[in-house]
Amino acid sequence: MGNLENERNTSNNQRQLAVEVIDEKTRVAIVSEITHPDLGALKKIIESNEQRSVKILKPNVNPSSLEEVDLFVLYQPTASFRSIYQYISQRKANTFTITGPRTDWNFINTAQNSFTYKSYYQAEEVTPKINRGFTYFNISDVSFEDYPPLENDLGEAIINKSHETLIAQRIKGMDMNEPMMALISSNAEREAVLFGENIWKWRMQSYRDTQSFDIFDDLMGKLVLFLTTNKPKNRFSVDYRSVYEGSSEAKLTAVYFDAAFIFDRNATILLQLKQKETGIRFEFPMLLKNDYYEADLTELSAGEFEFTASVENEDLQVSGNFT
């Protein structure tokens, strides 16, 4: 904003905003040695965002053609995937593994170390149960009520790395306390695994429930974004001034992104204040304002303050001082 003629205080004519820009252009390779309706459904789901492109490849593909792939979807891997797994290991590439009755469990348990599956080699229908405690990204608009079961070998799944379960298993109405879909985040690598084939049925059920594919496609889009956004970035930032001269501009703002680097409108951002002269402390939540959170400081008395802004249930905080 420009200065007015004879304006005495020009410090409130400009303001810095914290903006995070995510380059979401993504190349995905779906690798499968079988033909299955899931492959076409996955391609449609991923490419529902025009900034993503998908190729469906056989596991014997020449690795030199994979250099620009950002994410590998490994569909029911068998021993024919050996060279693919070697290439992924060398590149430390991120993966989304989907298993089913035609998965070679002996191979997959030795080809990677993120999870182990003890198969009883008996095909079983597995019903999804959403985990409302999931925190990597917002799933509040998703419901798997009345979704059809997927098919997988009956067995026991063990996730060997830091992870969260997005969907849990139910078999014949019983909670199995086993992950059906888990997201793994370990160091700079991210993975996901879905134990069950026929995900195309879930997409169709979403359409029956809402007359649109959007909710299910958006959920899978968040999954793809989570799997392809693993470079170190600042998920939580706070914008404030060291000196507030006019009470009308005494605002502190914050921006918080979830693990998929999507702005989280459902977060709880707490602001703790301490007045240095008196030692009096305050704590209150910051309010959501469109695409940022805000704390109004206009009611504070004059003085020096220390603050700490933190995200509830996250190890993220920013501290500072202002007058």
pLDDT of amino acid 297: 86
More confident of the two residues 217 and 23: 217
Q: How confident is the model at residue 246 (pLDDT cuts 50, 70, 90)?
A: low
Mean pLDDT of 4-9: 52
pLDDT of amino acid 263: 83
Q: Buried b / exposed e across 150-163, counting CB within 10 Å, b at 16+?
A: bbbbebebebeeeb
CATH architecture of 234-322: Sandwich (2.60)
pLDDT of amino acid 64: 84
DSSP annotation string for 7-63: -S--GGG------------EEEEEE-SS--HHHHHHHHHHTTSTTEEEEEE-TT--G
Length of the chain: 323
**Domain ranges in the chain?**
26-228, 234-322
Q: How confident is the model at residue 248 (pLDDT cuts 50, 70, 90)?
A: low
- In whole angstroms, what is the distance from residue 119 CA to residue 158 CA? 11
CATH architecture of 26-228: 3-Layer(aba) Sandwich (3.40)
Q: How confident is the model at residue 38 (pLDDT cuts 50, 70, 90)?
A: very high
Helices 199-210, 214-228: axis angle to 10 degrees equals: 130
Model confidence pLDDT, tens digit, residues 53-74: 999 999 999 988 898 899 999 9
* Equal CATH topology for 26-228 and 234-322: no
Model confidence pLDDT, tens digit, residues 78-129: 999 999 999 999 998 999 999 999 999 999 999 999 999 999 999 999 999 9
